[in-house]
Amino acid sequence: MAALRRMLHLPSLVAGVCLPFAGSLAGSSLADRCLWDRLHSQPCLGSVPTFDWFFGYEEVQGLLLPLLQEARSACPLRVLDVGCGTSSLCTGLYTKSPHPVDVLGVDFSFVAVAHMNSLLEGGQGQTPLRPGHPASCLRFMQADALNLEAMASSGSFQLLLDKGTWDAVARGGLPKAYQLLSECLRVLSPQGTLIQFSDEDPDVRLPCLEQGSCGWTVTVQELGPFRGITYFAYLIQGSH
């Protein structure tokens, strides 16, 4: 969370995205859809068509690929990225996973979803994305991660990714964050894994996750440091 706050104070450019209004973001509600539409409407496309809070796919592929290998009984493995924004997590899994994956990225920002669909299809002068496995597929949809009833049935995904979404939602109060967690666990397979990526200290995050994930196993792995910041992967897993 501290890293997210620090990035919101940067004056002009962060990892390929122009933030001319970044100073004003720090005092805003991170659960405000209009704020994220404004942010995602400011891409400096150039050679960096995606933007990642914290870190990108390359930094965590060593964690993700073994999970895909373990879950190969589902073919292709269904992956949901909640609050995907314009991150490289979905695109990295789709283009680089040697295992077949069916990846869905959802975000409540129409601007972010439109940008990622354009990137997927090769719009704005980009080359269309190609799957790392011929059976893999990738989609982006506008949806509220707190209510996925319209697009995700219970137990329908084997892997869920949350990179900074809990952090943003929790800025509006923990009840909303627990609602996000509950909805993620609803759509997660009983044998699946939910990963929350954050820089929030385990002493703070773990008690919240343990309280909201009764019947699931909660563990944490340290990541990084990346650009001088240590992050954590909070894994919530069912029975394997």
Measure the CA–CA gap between 6 and 46, rounded to whole angstroms. Answer: 24
DSSP secondary structure letter of residue 144: B
Residue with tokens 């943003």: 168
Output the pLDDT for position 162: 98
pLDDT tens digits for 29-87?
Answer: 555 656 555 665 665 545 556 778 899 999 999 999 999 988 766 689 999 999 999 99
Output the pLDDT for position 69: 86
What the block records as the tokens of 174 is 């923990």
Please tell me the total number of residues recorded for the chain in this structure.
240
CATH class of 159-239: alpha beta
Q: What are the start and end residues of each CATH 3.40.50.150 domain in the chain?
A: 159-239
Range with the lowest mean pLDDT among 35-39, 93-97, 116-120, 138-142?
35-39
Measure the CA–CA gap between 123 and 144, rounded to whole angstroms. Answer: 25
Whether residue 28 is predicted with pLDDT greater than 90 in this model: the reply is no
Output the pLDDT for position 7: 44
Output the pLDDT for position 125: 76
pLDDT tens digits for 181-215?
Answer: 999 999 999 999 999 999 999 999 999 999 999 99
Higher pLDDT, 2 or 99: 99
pTM given for the model = 0.84
Mean pLDDT in the chain?
84
- Three-class DSSP category at 240: coil
pLDDT band at residue 110, thresholds of 50, 70 and 90? very high
Output the pLDDT for position 17: 39
Output the pLDDT for position 35: 58
Q: Give the β-pairing of 17-18 and 13-14.
A: antiparallel
